[in-house]
Protein backbone atom coordinates (compact mmCIF):
# COMPACT_ATOMS: atom_id res chain seq x y z
CA UNK A 1 0.00 0.00 0.00
CA UNK A 2 2.92 2.38 0.63
CA UNK A 3 3.97 2.08 -3.01
CA UNK A 4 0.37 2.65 -4.07
CA UNK A 5 0.21 5.84 -1.99
CA UNK A 6 3.45 7.05 -3.56
CA UNK A 7 1.92 6.54 -7.00
CA UNK A 8 -1.18 8.49 -5.99
CA UNK A 9 0.96 11.31 -4.61
CA UNK A 10 2.97 11.39 -7.83
CA UNK A 11 -0.22 11.60 -9.90
CA UNK A 12 -1.54 14.37 -7.67
CA UNK A 13 1.76 16.20 -8.04
CA UNK A 14 1.27 16.26 -11.80
CA UNK A 15 -2.25 17.60 -11.36
CA UNK A 16 -1.31 20.38 -8.94
CA UNK A 17 -0.47 23.69 -10.68
CA UNK A 18 2.49 25.71 -9.48
CA UNK A 19 0.73 29.05 -9.57
CA UNK A 20 -2.96 29.02 -8.74
CA UNK A 21 -5.17 30.25 -5.95
CA UNK A 22 -6.10 27.71 -3.32
CA UNK A 23 -9.58 27.46 -1.80
CA UNK A 24 -10.33 31.01 -0.69
CA UNK A 25 -12.24 30.35 2.53
CA UNK A 26 -10.98 29.81 6.07
CA UNK A 27 -11.23 26.98 8.57
CA UNK A 28 -10.15 26.40 12.15
CA UNK A 29 -9.23 22.84 13.11
CA UNK A 30 -10.92 21.96 16.44
CA UNK A 31 -8.43 21.26 19.20
CA UNK A 32 -10.72 18.74 20.89
CA UNK A 33 -14.33 17.70 21.25
CA UNK A 34 -14.70 15.65 18.07
CA UNK A 35 -17.00 12.68 18.61
CA UNK A 36 -17.32 9.98 15.98
CA UNK A 37 -20.72 8.26 16.03
CA UNK A 38 -21.35 4.62 15.24
CA UNK A 39 -22.67 4.10 11.73
CA UNK A 40 -25.02 1.26 10.90
CA UNK A 41 -25.12 0.00 7.30
CA UNK A 42 -28.15 1.27 5.42
CA UNK A 43 -28.07 -1.30 2.68
CA UNK A 44 -26.73 -4.70 1.75
CA UNK A 45 -22.97 -5.16 1.24
CA UNK A 46 -22.01 -4.95 -2.42
CA UNK A 47 -18.48 -5.88 -3.43
CA UNK A 48 -17.09 -5.56 -6.96
CA UNK A 49 -13.89 -4.55 -8.77
CA UNK A 50 -12.95 -0.87 -8.67
CA UNK A 51 -12.61 0.71 -12.11
CA UNK A 52 -12.21 4.34 -11.08
CA UNK A 53 -13.14 6.92 -8.47
CA UNK A 54 -15.40 9.92 -8.00
CA UNK A 55 -14.34 12.74 -5.70
CA UNK A 56 -17.65 14.35 -4.73
CA UNK A 57 -17.37 17.97 -3.55
CA UNK A 58 -20.23 19.86 -1.93
CA UNK A 59 -20.70 23.62 -2.38
CA UNK A 60 -21.16 24.80 1.21
CA UNK A 61 -22.96 28.11 0.59
CA UNK A 62 -25.81 26.22 -1.10
CA UNK A 63 -25.78 23.38 1.45
CA UNK A 64 -25.88 25.86 4.35
CA UNK A 65 -28.42 28.16 2.75
CA UNK A 66 -31.24 26.91 4.98
CA UNK A 67 -29.12 25.25 7.69
CA UNK A 68 -27.46 28.17 9.48
CA UNK A 69 -29.39 27.39 12.68
CA UNK A 70 -29.02 23.61 12.44
CA UNK A 71 -27.21 22.15 15.46
CA UNK A 72 -26.05 19.15 13.47
CA UNK A 73 -24.50 21.40 10.80
CA UNK A 74 -23.21 24.07 13.18
CA UNK A 75 -19.54 23.57 12.41
CA UNK A 76 -20.03 23.90 8.67
CA UNK A 77 -22.85 26.42 8.55
CA UNK A 78 -22.81 28.68 11.64
CA UNK A 79 -19.50 30.39 10.88
CA UNK A 80 -18.00 29.31 14.20
CA UNK A 81 -15.74 26.71 12.59
CA UNK A 82 -14.77 28.86 9.63
CA UNK A 83 -16.12 29.87 6.24
CA UNK A 84 -16.33 27.07 3.72
CA UNK A 85 -16.56 26.98 -0.05
CA UNK A 86 -16.21 23.51 -1.52
CA UNK A 87 -15.78 20.66 0.95
CA UNK A 88 -15.40 16.95 0.33
CA UNK A 89 -18.57 14.88 0.38
CA UNK A 90 -16.66 11.66 -0.23
CA UNK A 91 -14.23 9.66 -2.35
CA UNK A 92 -16.29 6.96 -4.02
CA UNK A 93 -14.87 3.85 -5.70
CA UNK A 94 -16.70 3.19 -8.96
CA UNK A 95 -17.57 -0.23 -10.33
CA UNK A 96 -18.51 -1.34 -13.84
CA UNK A 97 -21.02 0.88 -15.64
CA UNK A 98 -23.22 2.82 -13.24
CA UNK A 99 -22.67 0.44 -10.31
CA UNK A 100 -20.51 0.95 -7.23
CA UNK A 101 -19.40 -1.10 -4.22
CA UNK A 102 -20.80 -0.20 -0.82
CA UNK A 103 -20.93 -1.20 2.86
CA UNK A 104 -18.11 -3.72 2.57
CA UNK A 105 -17.30 -5.69 5.75
CA UNK A 106 -14.46 -4.21 7.81
CA UNK A 107 -13.17 -4.22 11.38
CA UNK A 108 -11.81 -0.70 11.50
CA UNK A 109 -13.61 2.33 12.91
CA UNK A 110 -12.76 5.95 12.23
CA UNK A 111 -10.98 7.38 15.28
CA UNK A 112 -11.57 10.84 16.74
CA UNK A 113 -8.03 12.07 16.03
CA UNK A 114 -8.29 11.13 12.36
CA UNK A 115 -11.69 12.83 12.13
CA UNK A 116 -10.27 15.97 13.75
CA UNK A 117 -7.44 16.04 11.21
CA UNK A 118 -9.97 16.07 8.37
CA UNK A 119 -12.41 18.67 9.70
CA UNK A 120 -11.32 21.40 7.28
CA UNK A 121 -11.88 19.00 4.38
CA UNK A 122 -15.07 17.31 5.64
CA UNK A 123 -16.42 19.44 8.53
CA UNK A 124 -18.73 16.72 9.87
CA UNK A 125 -17.48 13.71 11.84
CA UNK A 126 -20.68 11.77 11.15
CA UNK A 127 -20.27 12.23 7.41
CA UNK A 128 -16.62 11.18 7.64
CA UNK A 129 -17.59 7.99 9.46
CA UNK A 130 -20.37 7.24 6.99
CA UNK A 131 -18.16 7.78 3.95
CA UNK A 132 -15.57 5.39 5.36
CA UNK A 133 -18.13 2.71 6.21
CA UNK A 134 -20.12 2.98 2.98
CA UNK A 135 -17.42 3.70 0.40
CA UNK A 136 -13.87 3.66 1.75
CA UNK A 137 -14.13 0.19 3.27
CA UNK A 138 -14.63 -1.29 -0.20
CA UNK A 139 -11.19 -0.26 -1.44
CA UNK A 140 -8.99 0.52 1.56
CA UNK A 141 -8.07 -1.55 4.60
CA UNK A 142 -7.94 1.35 7.07
CA UNK A 143 -9.81 4.66 7.40
CA UNK A 144 -6.47 6.45 7.84
CA UNK A 145 -5.37 5.29 4.39
CA UNK A 146 -8.70 6.18 2.81
CA UNK A 147 -8.51 9.70 4.16
CA UNK A 148 -4.83 10.10 3.33
CA UNK A 149 -5.64 9.38 -0.31
CA UNK A 150 -8.62 11.75 -0.13
CA UNK A 151 -6.40 14.51 1.29
CA UNK A 152 -3.79 13.99 -1.44
CA UNK A 153 -6.42 14.43 -4.14
CA UNK A 154 -8.11 17.34 -2.34
CA UNK A 155 -4.86 19.21 -1.81
CA UNK A 156 -3.93 18.86 -5.48
CA UNK A 157 -6.93 20.98 -6.53
CA UNK A 158 -6.91 24.73 -7.09
CA UNK A 159 -9.99 26.87 -7.08
CA UNK A 160 -10.98 29.75 -9.32
CA UNK A 161 -13.01 32.62 -7.88
CA UNK A 162 -16.51 31.14 -7.66
CA UNK A 163 -17.85 34.36 -6.17
CA UNK A 164 -16.84 36.18 -9.34
CA UNK A 165 -18.06 33.33 -11.54
CA UNK A 166 -21.47 33.43 -9.83
CA UNK A 167 -21.99 36.96 -11.16
CA UNK A 168 -21.56 36.01 -14.81
CA UNK A 169 -24.64 36.70 -16.88
CA UNK A 170 -26.13 33.65 -18.53
CA UNK A 171 -23.97 31.28 -16.48
CA UNK A 172 -24.09 27.67 -17.70
CA UNK A 173 -22.89 24.30 -16.46
CA UNK A 174 -20.31 24.44 -19.24
CA UNK A 175 -18.93 27.72 -17.86
CA UNK A 176 -18.42 26.12 -14.44
CA UNK A 177 -16.62 23.12 -15.92
CA UNK A 178 -14.45 25.24 -18.21
CA UNK A 179 -13.46 27.64 -15.42
CA UNK A 180 -12.41 24.77 -13.15
CA UNK A 181 -10.46 23.08 -15.96
CA UNK A 182 -8.59 26.29 -16.76
CA UNK A 183 -7.36 26.49 -13.15
CA UNK A 184 -6.27 22.83 -13.02
CA UNK A 185 -3.80 21.38 -15.56
CA UNK A 186 -4.70 17.94 -16.96
CA UNK A 187 -8.38 18.55 -16.25
CA UNK A 188 -10.85 18.95 -19.11
CA UNK A 189 -14.54 19.91 -18.90
CA UNK A 190 -15.55 16.32 -19.71
CA UNK A 191 -13.78 15.17 -16.52
CA UNK A 192 -16.03 17.35 -14.34
CA UNK A 193 -19.49 16.21 -13.28
CA UNK A 194 -21.98 18.62 -11.75
CA UNK A 195 -25.12 18.30 -9.68
CA UNK A 196 -27.64 21.13 -9.87
CA UNK A 197 -30.83 21.20 -7.86
CA UNK A 198 -34.26 21.48 -9.44
CA UNK A 199 -33.95 25.28 -9.52
CA UNK A 200 -30.55 25.22 -11.21
CA UNK A 201 -28.39 26.04 -8.17
CA UNK A 202 -24.99 24.34 -7.94
CA UNK A 203 -24.96 21.64 -5.25
CA UNK A 204 -21.95 19.47 -6.03
CA UNK A 205 -18.99 19.01 -8.30
CA UNK A 206 -18.06 15.38 -9.02
CA UNK A 207 -14.53 14.87 -10.31
CA UNK A 208 -13.93 11.69 -12.28
CA UNK A 209 -10.69 9.71 -11.89
CA UNK A 210 -9.48 6.53 -13.51
CA UNK A 211 -8.09 3.61 -11.54
CA UNK A 212 -4.69 5.36 -11.78
CA UNK A 213 -6.11 8.48 -10.06
CA UNK A 214 -5.68 10.58 -13.18
CA UNK A 215 -8.63 12.59 -14.54
CA UNK A 216 -10.88 10.70 -16.91
CA UNK A 217 -14.06 11.33 -18.87
CA UNK A 218 -17.13 11.10 -16.66
CA UNK A 219 -19.77 8.52 -17.47
CA UNK A 220 -23.24 9.85 -18.29
CA UNK A 221 -24.56 9.14 -14.78
CA UNK A 222 -21.66 11.13 -13.27
CA UNK A 223 -21.58 14.04 -15.70
CA UNK A 224 -24.92 15.62 -14.89
CA UNK A 225 -26.47 18.48 -16.89
CA UNK A 226 -25.23 19.32 -20.39
CA UNK A 227 -22.90 22.25 -20.88
CA UNK A 228 -25.73 24.42 -22.20
CA UNK A 229 -27.82 24.05 -19.02
CA UNK A 230 -28.35 27.32 -17.15
CA UNK A 231 -26.74 27.32 -13.71
CA UNK A 232 -26.63 29.53 -10.63
CA UNK A 233 -24.13 29.68 -7.75
CA UNK A 234 -25.37 30.80 -4.34
CA UNK A 235 -22.78 32.98 -2.61
CA UNK A 236 -24.39 33.38 0.78
CA UNK A 237 -21.19 34.22 2.68
CA torsion sign for 219, 224, 229, 234 is negative
Question: 108 Cβ partners below 8 Å, 6+ apart?
Answer: 137, 141, 142, 143
Is the pLDDT at 77 greater than 50? The verdict is yes
Mean pLDDT across 73-102: 94
Q: At what angle do helices 2-15 and 143-155 cross, to 10 degrees?
A: 20
Report the C-alpha dihedral over residues 104, 196, 151, 147, rounded to 10 degrees. -20
- Residue 22 is predicted with a pLDDT of 41
Which contiguous run of DSSP H or E holds residue 218?
none
- Domains of the chain (ranges; CATH) run 2-14+28-33+41-223 (3.90.730.10)
Question: Does the predicted TM-score (pTM) go above 0.75?
Answer: yes
Strands 202-210 and 82-83: unpaired
- Residue 20 is predicted with a pLDDT of 40
Amino acid sequence: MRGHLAAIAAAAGLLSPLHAAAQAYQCRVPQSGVTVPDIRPQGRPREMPTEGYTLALSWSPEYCRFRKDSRRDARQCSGQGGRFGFVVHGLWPDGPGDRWPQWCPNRRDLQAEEARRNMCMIPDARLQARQWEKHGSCRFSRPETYYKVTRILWNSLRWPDFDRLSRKRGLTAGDIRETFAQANPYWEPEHVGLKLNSRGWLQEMRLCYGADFMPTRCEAHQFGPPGSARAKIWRGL
